[in-house]
Amino acid sequence: MSWLVVAGFLIFFVGLAASIALHELGHLVPAKLFGVKVTQYMVGFGPTIWSRRRGETEYGVKWIPFGGYIRMIGPLPPRAADAGKLRDLPTGPWQGLIESARQASLEEVGPGDADRVLYRKPWWQKVIIYSGGPAMNFVLAFLLFAGVIMGFGVVVAKPVVATVSQCVMTVAEVKQGAKCGPDHRQSPAALAGLKAGDKIVSMGGRPVNSWEDATRLIRGHGAGPVDIGIVRAGKPVTLHAALIAEDRPNPDDPTKIDKNVGFLGVSPTEVVEKQSIGYVFSVLGDLISRTGAALVHMPEKLVGVWQAAFGGAERALDSPQSVVGAGRIGGEIAAANIPLSTKIAGFVQLLAGFNLAIGMFNLIPLLPLDGGQIVGGLWEGVKRGYARVRRRPMPGYVDIAKALPLTYVMSFALLIMGVLLVYADIVNPVRISG
């Protein structure tokens, strides 16, 4: 392993630690603004590397860089005083665990802290506190993506022919790097006389303003003759091609194969162009949609990770990864034979994507994730709003302690998932290079 790979790995982890610190800052700032007493602000888990106390809060860094936390006093309300509804002593292992957690929560509350406990804060303040972390990740993702897209630029495919396929090959042959042979038929582009440098301006009489336009018209046309308007050496020319129907990878999702789409046999010229703020929003919206879909399909993707880790199956490019896997990709970027500016843009995009994934993952409405806490706050707001409208007595605080059994189960599941991903990223990682 070269020093560049190690350096890239470490650079990514520094960026990750900064992202975790800002995520927790997103919780810390509103908590302090709303008067909640925060006793700890920690980046990482496990033994403490360094810490320092400022006022009532201890700030520190721990050894395991897989997350962070802030410690707010009084997250769980005391037991209801109605002895007719609750036994005086807890019974059963889960009930005992709940009461132990409740007591531990209340032991941190000192004299004068009665109004500074988290559970007594208005529901909307709880929602803001727990939303602050994911919101910080979304802001970071936006700023990082904007820095790359508006500062470095992105690769844009132009409707100018870069290469012409001389023959028609299957998707499998292309992946294997096969060469044209006597058994291959000529491509429609080669037969029509298309050349590198030709600018496609129309397809079947319809204008082409982008490579996406050309792709859509070619694939949608299917098999059959079509007139192609081009500009060659500054002069307009019309060529006649006979498109064929082929099974080709989907432009938006290369893992999927579209059946019997029109095939011409040209590739576009790619250039790097800086984009506007509107383009940043469109990219971020598309990535949010894709990340949300990936989270929905997480269980089946984890099956693929298991098969890759223990069965030697090929690791999919869109496979879930741990911070170890992302760090390895950072190492590959650092060691790649590409310009420094491209490396910087690659690192920034990697960190931006990871922030987006962290933010969305934390919004899953299950404890112990932020999304579960947000749902608890919203439910409290609904109950209190309903009571206010119906002029009924105000209900008590939502007692998330009752969900602790589910929380522990989820925590165990997240631990197992994390261990699986780390192991898979060590023995069979996702690779961006061959």
> Are the C-beta atoms of residues 313 and 414 closer than 8 Å to each other?
no
As a whole number of Å, the CA-based R_g of the chain is 28
Query: Are 57 and 13 within one domain?
Result: yes
d(CA 47, CA 64): 8
Return the pLDDT at 434: 52
Out of 273, 296, 331, a domain closes at 273
Helices (H), 262-339: 277-296, 298-311, 323-335
Query: Are 51 and 94 within one domain?
Result: yes
Does residue 329 belong to any structural domain of this protein? no
> Tokens 């399909």 identify what position?
297
Query: Are 22 and 123 within one domain?
Result: yes
User: Omega of the bond prior to 236 within 30 degrees of 0, cis?
Assistant: no
d(CA 80, CA 34): 25
Q: If you ran DSSP here, which 8-state letter would residue 402 be given?
A: G
Domain count, the chain: 2
Q: Write the CA distances from 339 to 54, 134, 148, 152, integer angstroms.
A: 44, 33, 15, 12
User: Which of 23-27, 79-83, 371-375 reaches the highest mean pLDDT?
Assistant: 23-27
Query: Are 100 and 200 within one domain?
Result: no
Q: Is the pLDDT of residue 279 over 70?
A: yes
d(CA 69, CA 194): 60
**How many residues are given for the chain?**
434
Residues 6+ apart with CB under 8 A from 364: 295, 371, 372
Query: Are 258 and 196 within one domain?
Result: yes
Q: If you ran DSSP here, which 8-state letter would residue 403 be given?
A: G
Q: Write the CA distances from 168 to 160, 190, 214, 243, 253, integer angstroms.
A: 20, 10, 19, 11, 21
d(CA 38, CA 26): 13
Does residue 286 belong to any structural domain of this protein? no
Q: Which residues of 6-29 are buried (b: 16+ CB within 10 A; e: fewer)?
A: eebbebbbebbbebbbbbbbbbbe
Residues 6+ apart with CB under 8 A from 381: 123, 124, 127
Q: Is the pLDDT of residue 171 over 80?
A: no
d(CA 221, CA 203): 9
Out of 273, 297, 321, a domain closes at 273
Expressed as residue numbers, the domain containing 238 is: 155-273
Which residue out of 24, 99, 246, 380 is catalytically annotated? Answer: 24
Which two three-digit tokens encode residue 256? 């999927």
> Are the C-beta atoms of residues 59 and 25 closer than 8 Å to each other?
no
Query: Are 130 and 99 within one domain?
Result: yes
Query: Are 124 and 222 within one domain?
Result: no
Query: Are 166 and 64 within one domain?
Result: no
Query: Are 193 and 161 within one domain?
Result: yes
Q: Write the CA distances from 77 to 90, 103, 118, 196, integer angstroms.
A: 16, 10, 9, 71
Does residue 432 belong to any structural domain of this protein? no
Does residue 219 belong to any structural domain of this protein? yes
Return the pLDDT at 229: 94
User: Who wins on pLDDT, 2 or 44?
Assistant: 44
Out of 273, 308, 339, a domain closes at 273
Averaged over 66-90, what is the pLDDT? 68
Active site residue 24: yes
CATH code, domain with 235: 2.30.42.10
Does residue 94 belong to any structural domain of this protein? yes
Query: Are 119 and 88 within one domain?
Result: yes
Residue-wise pLDDT tens digits, 342-352: 889 988 999 99
Query: Are 60 and 185 within one domain?
Result: no
Does residue 293 belong to any structural domain of this protein? no
Does residue 160 belong to any structural domain of this protein? yes
CA 233 to chain centre: 44
Query: Are 183 and 130 within one domain?
Result: no
Q: Write the CA distances from 257 to 125, 246, 253, 315, integer angstroms.
A: 48, 10, 9, 18
Residue-wise pLDDT tens digits, 295-342: 888 888 888 889 888 888 888 777 888 888 888 888 888 888 888 888
Q: Please give the full DSSP string across 166-232, using - where no structure is assigned.
A: SB---HHHHHTT----TTSPBPHHHHHT--TTPEEEEETTEE--SHHHHHHHHHHH-SEEEEEEEEE
Which two three-digit tokens encode residue 18? 């900064």
Does residue 325 belong to any structural domain of this protein? no
Q: Which of 70-84, 251-265, 400-414 has the lowest mean pLDDT?
A: 70-84
For the whole prediction, is pTM greater than 0.85?
A: no
Q: Is the pLDDT of residue 82 over 70?
A: no
Q: Is the pLDDT of residue 151 over 70?
A: yes
